[in-house]
Amino acid sequence: MTARRQKANRSLQLVLLSDTHEQHAEVEVPPGDILIHAGDFTMFSRNLRSISDFNQWLGKLPHRWKVVCPGNHEFFLEADLRRRSLLDNAIVLVNESAEVEGLKIWGSPITPLYGGAFGLSSAEDRRRLYGQIPEDIDVLITHGPPYGILDESPGSDYHQGDPVLLDAAMRLRPRLYVFGQVHLDRRSPRIVESEHTTFVNAALLGPEGAIDKPPIMLKIGRR
């Protein structure tokens, strides 16, 4: 086997998306090894049938692994985490980690938003929570963005991201950091690279309230 083949066999194809807001059936999802959804797959959890539909949609996708981190619209999970059984076609991460194909992944739906699902307005409480993230994670998933990174709505210079998340990302240096919540314009950059981390805003919904972007595909090397 050539060195090139060996290197390819160590790579995993990731498919990244977020903020589909019950419009998942409109998304053309490319194949891959692991699909990651970073939250807001419902519209305020008003329709339980849509949750079942989302789960069935996940089950029809070809990816061996599906990882879902809820968002600030997923009130049905905030009310009772046992309801994650409604999403039995995915690994659902709520302030916890999982190992998938050798990748160590940690996900959290927490945002500073008051009134949204999983809102935690106290910066100190968020700092304590993110202090529990394992230091050897490869992939960090949060619904909300870190401060200053792909966190501005079109036409605005207001940063919606969380400074506490930014501090955590700078400390942990994950290889990949996936988030959503901020609905970027389809012409906006969606990926930012730093020395240690690839940051991805995977939100598919545009500022007009319709899906206007495709999922992001990235390769990541196995450990």
3-state SS string for 60-86: HCCCCEEEECCCCCCHHHHHCHHHHHH
- Please report the pLDDT score of residue 10 as a whole number: 78
Candidate CATH numbers 3.30.70.120, 3.60.21.10, 3.40.50.720, 3.20.20.70; the one for domain 12-221: 3.60.21.10
Pairing of β 65-68 and β 96-100 = unpaired
CA atoms within 13 A on the CB side of 130: 26
- Please report the pLDDT score of residue 9 as a whole number: 61
Q: What is the pTM of this model?
A: 0.94
For 211, residues 6+ apart whose C-beta sits below 8 A from its C-beta are 20, 23, 26, 27, 204, 205
- Please report the pLDDT score of residue 26 as a whole number: 97
Tokens of 183: 């609905």
For 121, residues 6+ apart whose C-beta sits below 8 A from its C-beta are 112, 113, 114
Tens of pLDDT, residue by residue over 141-184, are 999 999 999 999 888 889 999 999 999 999 999 999 999 999 99
Those residues of the chain that have pLDDT short of 70 are 1-9
Residue 196's identity, in one-letter code, is H
Q: Where are the domains of the chain?
A: 12-221
